[in-house]
Structures are given as structure tokens and as C-alpha cells.
Structure 1
Amino acid sequence: MRFLVDAQLPPVLARWLAERGHEAEHVMDCGLQSAPDREIWDFAAASGAIVVTKDEDFAQRKALLQSGPSIVWVRLPNSRRRDLLDWFERALPDIIDALERGETLIEVI
């Protein structure tokens, strides 16, 4: 799967996903660090990427639109990188399963 990690999450998450066999970039890798949400949305849609974000605006937009990229909405509190990666280690199989079933808005708490 191809993931685009949004600015509120650390670049290390994209590297971690890539180490597990996924295509993954952080918005910083794509020159989108300060881009508006619409530009990130359009980039993800054009490249077939799933947006991994803490930004509720992406979830709201996806709830209103059938088209556009799939969204993984991370609703965890701010935490250390190691804690975030440990959480993703446990949650990633369920996230992948949901995406493979065709879910396009996945809220993870």
C-alpha cells in the first residue's frame, strides 16, 4: 500500500511503514510540509496514496465526498515517537485489513 503521512505526524512514521514493505512518504518528502489540506488531498488522490493524519479536516472531507484518497485518521494523544511506533505496530494489521475491505475512512483511537 502507498501512504502519505501528514505534517502532524513525524517523518519517522513514513520510514517505519516503508521498512514494513509499504510505499510511504511524509509530506515533507514531497515538498508539501506547509501545503494547504486541499493540495495534500489532491496529491494523495493523484498518486493513489492513503493519507495518514491527525487532522480532523481530512476525516470531515472524506465523510462528505465519495471520491478522493482513503484516510487513516489517527486520534491518539501527542506522544513520543517510540510510543507512536509501538501503537502502529499493534494497529497496522487492522488498518490494512480495513483498507483491503474497501473502507475509505478509518478512525483509529
Structure 2
Amino acid sequence: MKLLFDQNLSFKLVQRLTVSFPGSKHIRDFALVREMDESIWVFAAKNGFTIVSKDSDFVHLSMVQGHPPKVVHVRFGNCSTNTILDRMIAHEHAIKEFISDSDESFLVLE
């Protein structure tokens, strides 16, 4: 259950969530920071990642194309990395259930 964090989320989340989501990475780990959303989408699908982003464009891609990859849309507003970390840990079970669900394409965390 590895996550791929988009550029609008801190790379620091990867290290802090590695116990819960081993194999997770940030797009900068693959030099994808300047890539278009579609390229990140294809990369995530080919490599078994679930995309985590504040960007609703990934949700729209998910609605049109389905999955893989799956998308976790983080809608916590402007807040610190620690707040995002705390909320993702609080939603860990829901995120894991979502990733395991064969039908769902995206999950919105608010």
C-alpha cells in the first residue's frame, strides 16, 4: 500500500508515514515535479502507487479513467505538514480499506 505524494504535499510525509505505508515516495524522488498530472498518473499506475494530492485534477482523472491508480484527495485546507500527518494517521484505516477496495477510484479526506 504505497503512496505517491504530489508536489503540493511535503516530502517529509513520506518518512513519517513509512511504517503505515511502506514503499511510499514523493514525486520529487522520481524527478516528476515538473511533469504534467497525466504523466504522474501514468507513472503511478505502472508502479502500483496510490496518488495523494490536494489537487482536484487527479480526482477528475479518476472519474474519467477509473483506476489504477487510486487517488486520495486531501482537502484539509491550508495547514501544517504536522496537521496533515496527524489527520492521515487518524484516517489510516480508511485509507487502507479504500486501497484494498476493488471498486472505488478516489477517496476524499476532509
Shared fold (TM-score, shorter chain, > 0.5):
yes
Change (3 A) 1:90 1:32: same
Q: Which residue of 2 aligns with 1:107?
A: 108
Residue deviations 1:3-47 (CA, integer Å, cap 9, x gap): 110000000111122132521000011101111101101110110
Paired with 1:2 and 1:58, the residues of 2 have a C-alpha distance of 17
Paired with 1:77 and 1:28, the residues of 2 have a C-alpha distance of 22
Residue deviations 1:44-70 (CA, integer Å, cap 9, x gap): 011011000111000011011124311
State the TM-score, normalizing by the size of structure 1.
0.92
Q: What CA RMSD, in Å, does the superposition of the two structures yield over aligned residues? A: 1.3
SS of the equivalent of 2:94 reads helix
Matches within 5 A, 1:67-86: 67-86=67-86
Residue deviations 1:68-108 (CA, integer Å, cap 9, x gap): 31111111111111111111110111111122122221111
Q: Which residue of 2 aligns with 1:14?
A: 14
Paired with 2:39 and 2:87, the residues of 1 have a C-alpha distance of 28
Paired with 2:52 and 2:21, the residues of 1 have a C-alpha distance of 16
- Name structure 1 gaps, 5 residues minimum: none
State the TM-score, normalizing by the size of structure 2.
0.91
- Name structure 2 gaps, 5 residues minimum: none
Paired with 1:90 and 1:79, the residues of 2 have a C-alpha distance of 16
In the alignment of these two chains, the number of paired residues is 109
Matching residue's letter, 1:80: S
